[in-house]
Chains A and B, each alone.
Chain A
């Protein structure tokens, strides 16, 4: 099985990628402005909900329950989906998912040399890099979500799981449209830009016969699928084509239709600060004279089921991809999504990507957080992201310590030394005195400069007061002595 999460396998470590992002002032300004706006709207919409905390608890309980019985609910979904005329396929990993999708597209477009498919915004298809696979198979995927379309036209990567083009401003979009749509007269006015996108997309909605979607929820009880969106392009892709292929991560299943009530309140408020999504599409199987004539679901594992065994890791799968943690995260705020090297960025990406894919390619992500807890505070399903980050850090350290290089690494040696010192008053006090004496090499006045090793990361950018001659315990000892004398 080859698990893939977008570009993680060829991504640079977070601190390196972050450095590049930090140099891009335009990108940072765009990200800050956008996240501030969404955060503000979210806060307003959450405040007006008297039962918000109960909703969070309920959502978390539904998700936790579903994940404990995931096998049963998936089988139930498959049965009900097929009873309604759909067809369910199971994909272990990215390659299988893409192969199934390509097989289906070829099957339904027999004889056509040039095949196009229209796509609804789907993170899962980005996760398996479906567009790359489709293009390699001679199929042209057309993204119809405005932000995804901007990303696709710019040969760019999404930088936010809900607002993929959040790092671009309207002037950049105007330039892109002028070039791609051959419309040099376009201005950067929002009306002008949306009008251009609308005309461009309408032509494709009417012409293309195959649609590809993801899903926000798959309902076991009915075998139905749900997508929520703001633009209506999703609804076009879900109703206009003859064939609909929905790629769905196995964790998206919920038991009952009734459960939607909880999530449809939490998701839009958390994601975009809206009371309700402008478009909530639900579809179930096929119906004569209405909607697609063929409906296929690809249920994707891609590393998910292996997280079911560990209680803390399993919690990650409760995510409903609202992106609230990204908007709340002060680290994401500075770097944007590209620095995370994964299709899933921000705090959720920092825990999801390393777990789906082996830690090897994303060892730095669990450390891309100050553990400030802002993500946990806003998560609508109460995923304790800081706790999971710490758990993953533990895995990174244990894996490192299992190798000789890791054992001898400066950080490990320092941590072992500190742990040993902290285990004895004598050694701890000796270490304090050693630090007080050793700092003379780096002391300039009452400040320390150019500290070596990891501490150099501090003094390069920030000042640091020298270690005082008298520790607190020294003060305490001298005081007790004075008192008893």
Chain B
């Protein structure tokens, strides 16, 4: 299948290894990956912070860029949540029937990475080997907006050598919340402390998620506390062919 990659602006800039891993996994499975270089941002940061007017051109840009894609893969649950929760409503408010029609036609072809693999492509064994203990943090957007269910867990279970450890209070938010993390830094860090404690309690070597945004928050706390627990996007684990941490 021809898969268009929307890598997300923060992944592109801060976590390039995620995009690399997604590309490796999809190519290893025999798919063709393309990356339209003109892509930038899905508009989530602006929209969720209240800059609704400013988010519209970004949405238009995304839709224009991927209108003709067979399938769009996004290694970020929160970007997909932005699209599924708000694009239609935003397009309706624009009073532009062509734009609205494009949004309606494109949305069913946009998938979060684990959804794409486990549900759309029906591939649970991606041929990965990762001999480490891992705990999975279901990000709020993947859990309560995308309802990805056990797709990520099904993928992780097929990884050779991997020990999956259950995260206590896993459905509780890590405290990131985009601009919340800086606007309400104190509360954000208090929430993080609890999440961090739960991660450490599992004894896992690695904590993973579908979102680098949550992982950036969890890393921030773990690293500040001097913990040896690593944060890795699920794509990196699924791309792994057994290399050491």
Enumerate chain A residues within 8 angstroms of B191, measured Cβ to Cβ.
Answer: 330-331, 333-334, 370
Enumerate chain A residues within 8 angstroms of B216, measured Cβ to Cβ.
Answer: 464
A468 and B221: CB pair below 8 A? no
Q: Which one of B5-13, B102-110, B116-124, B151-159 contacts A?
A: B5-13
A18 and B186: CB pair below 8 A? yes
One of A333, A372, A390, A467 near B144 (C-beta < 8 A): A372
The residue among A335, A393, A462 with the most chain B CB atoms within 10 A of its own CB is A462
B12-41 interface with A by 8 A CB criterion: 12-16, 18-20, 23, 35, 37-38, 40-41
Q: Which one of B51-59, B66-74, B126-134 contacts A?
A: B51-59
* Total CB contacts across the A-B interface at under 8 A: 183
Enumerate chain A residues within 8 angstroms of B186, measured Cβ to Cβ.
Answer: 15, 18-19, 22, 461
Decide yes or no whether B200 CB sits under 8 A from chain A: no
For the complex, what is the distance from the CA of A234 to the CA of B54, rounded to whole Å? 51
One of A373, A422, A472, A477 near B40 (C-beta < 8 A): A422
B161-195 interface with A by 8 A CB criterion: 171-173, 175-192
Decide yes or no whether A44 CB sits under 8 A from chain B: no
Main secondary structure of the interface of B (DSSP, over half): helix
Enumerate chain A residues within 8 angstroms of B188, measured Cβ to Cβ.
Answer: 370
For the complex, what is the distance from the CA of A371 to the CA of B13, rounded to whole Å? 24
B184 and A390: CB pair below 8 A? no
A377-436 interface with B by 8 A CB criterion: 377, 387, 390, 392-398, 411, 415-416, 418-419, 421-423, 425, 428, 432, 435
Enumerate chain B residues within 8 angstroms of A415, measured Cβ to Cβ.
Answer: 46, 49, 51, 54
**Nearest residue, chain A, Cβ from B222:** A463
Decide yes or no whether A473 CB sits under 8 A from chain B: yes
B182 and A428: CB pair below 8 A? no
Decide yes or no whether B3 CB sits under 8 A from chain A: no
For the complex, what is the distance from the CA of A457 to the CA of B189, rounded to whole Å? 10
Decide yes or no whether B84 CB sits under 8 A from chain A: no
**Nearest residue, chain A, Cβ from B223:** A463
Decide yes or no whether A14 CB sits under 8 A from chain B: yes
Enumerate chain B residues within 8 angstroms of A373, measured Cβ to Cβ.
Answer: 140-141, 143-145
B37 and A477: CB pair below 8 A? yes
A367 and B180: CB pair below 8 A? yes
One of B12, B50, B61, B220 near A473 (C-beta < 8 A): B12
Chain B positions 186 through 209: 1 when the CB is less than 8 Å from some CB of chain A, otherwise 0 = 111111100000000000000000
Enumerate chain B residues within 8 angstroms of A366, measured Cβ to Cβ.
Answer: 50
B187 and A18: CB pair below 8 A? yes
Give chain A nearest CB distance to B144 CB in angstroms: 4
With A455-B182, A472-B11 known to touch, is A416 a contact of B175 (CB < 8 Å)? no
A462 and B58: CB pair below 8 A? no
Give chain A nearest CB distance to B3 CB in angstroms: 14
A372 and B40: CB pair below 8 A? no
B184 and A368: CB pair below 8 A? yes
With A374-B173, A461-B185, A464-B220 known to touch, is A435 a contact of B13 (CB < 8 Å)? yes
A458 and B182: CB pair below 8 A? yes
B48 and A390: CB pair below 8 A? yes
Enumerate chain A residues within 8 angstroms of B20, measured Cβ to Cβ.
Answer: 472, 475
With A397-B52, A465-B14 known to touch, is A14 a contact of B57 (CB < 8 Å)? no
Give chain A nearest CB distance to B236 CB in angstroms: 13
**Nearest residue, chain A, Cβ from B11:** A472
Decide yes or no whether B4 CB sits under 8 A from chain A: no
Enumerate chain B residues within 8 angstroms of A18, measured Cβ to Cβ.
Answer: 184, 186-187
For the complex, what is the distance from the CA of A462 to the CA of B57, rounded to whole Å? 33
B14 and A331: CB pair below 8 A? no
One of B18, B58, B85 near A423 (C-beta < 8 A): B58
What 6 new A-B contacts, CB under 8 Å, besides A377-B144, A423-B58, A473-B37? Answer: A367-B180, A373-B144, A415-B46, A458-B185, A460-B185, A472-B20
A-B contact pairs, 28 of them (CB 8 A): A22-B190, A331-B187, A367-B179, A371-B48, A371-B178, A374-B172, A390-B48, A393-B49, A415-B51, A419-B58, A422-B43, A423-B61, A425-B37, A428-B41, A432-B13, A435-B13, A457-B183, A458-B181, A458-B182, A458-B185, A461-B186, A462-B189, A463-B219, A467-B14, A468-B14, A471-B16, A473-B7, A475-B16
